[in-house]
Chain A
Amino acid sequence: EVQVVESGGGLVQPGGTLRLSCEASGFSFSSYSMNWVRQAPGKGLEWVSYISSGSSSTRYVDSVKGRFTISRDNAKNSLYLQMNSLRVEDTAVYYCARDGNMDVWGQGTTVTVSS
């Protein structure tokens, strides 16, 4: 079964850090680009970051540039999002999604930034 499973969310204070993980199975992970997408409570979907299949290209939404870093380990079939200097407005469910057309999504992991 093709699937991705996120983990690593939690409650963190403003200015804190978290590292999200996304483990893929059932497909050739190294052949696909990957994305992180988030959804704040009661709001719509927002694309956060992209990484190419071989990690040569990464992209970010302006609001997280310089604070978040996307990476992957193809040997471990895993995608990561290092989140530093977290803000209250980063509170959201974070999803990993496969490829540009986002054909496969995980169940999401919840990040809450609050004092």
Chain B
Amino acid sequence: DIQMTQSPSSLSASVGDRVTITCRASQGISNYLAWFQQKPGKAPKSLIYAASSLQSGVPSKFSGSGSGTDFTLTINTLQPEDFATYYCQQYNIFPYTFGQGTKLEIK
């Protein structure tokens, strides 16, 4: 199985900051990488697919990059509604696998 490792596991930041979350795959997955945002008690929300493509309706403050094994999610100008848990997911090879999550908290 492909292991997805996110770093950091938790992150404290202030409103207005820019943050970057990293996701590393244990083997190459081309660009079959998605990013999700999840708030407590809510379903995950898709942000990015194909490593760098923004889902419809997602603000451009979110961006993704990478290919192969190393990927990043960048969030610009943090707002209070951005504090949540973020997951990466590979959909190149079964079983699909998720990273362990990165909890973004307000400093």
Residues of A within 8 A of B (CB): 35, 37, 44-47, 50, 59-62, 95, 100-108
A102 touches B45 (CB 8 A): no
Determine the chain B residues whose CB is within 8 A of the CB of A95 once the complex forms: 43-44
- B76 → A minimal CB distance (Å): 22
Chain A residues whose C-beta falls within 8 Å of the C-beta of B96 in the assembled complex: 35, 47, 50, 100
Which B residues are closer than 8 A to A by beta carbons?
32, 34, 36, 38, 43-46, 49-50, 55, 87, 89, 91, 94-101
7 A-B Cβ contacts within 8 A? A37-B44, A44-B98, A59-B95, A95-B44, A102-B34, A102-B46, A105-B46
Instruction: Find out whether the CB atom of A103 lies under 8 angstroms from the CB atom of B55.
Output: yes
SS class of chain B's interface: helix, strand, loop or mixed?
Answer: loop
Known: A101-B50, A102-B36. A46 touches B98 (CB 8 A): yes
Q: Are B98 and A108 in contact (CB under 8 A)?
A: no
Write the chain B residue with the least CB distance to A93.
Answer: B43
From A45, A104, A108, contact of B87 by CB (8 A) = A45
Decide: A100 and B91 in contact? CB cutoff 8 A: yes
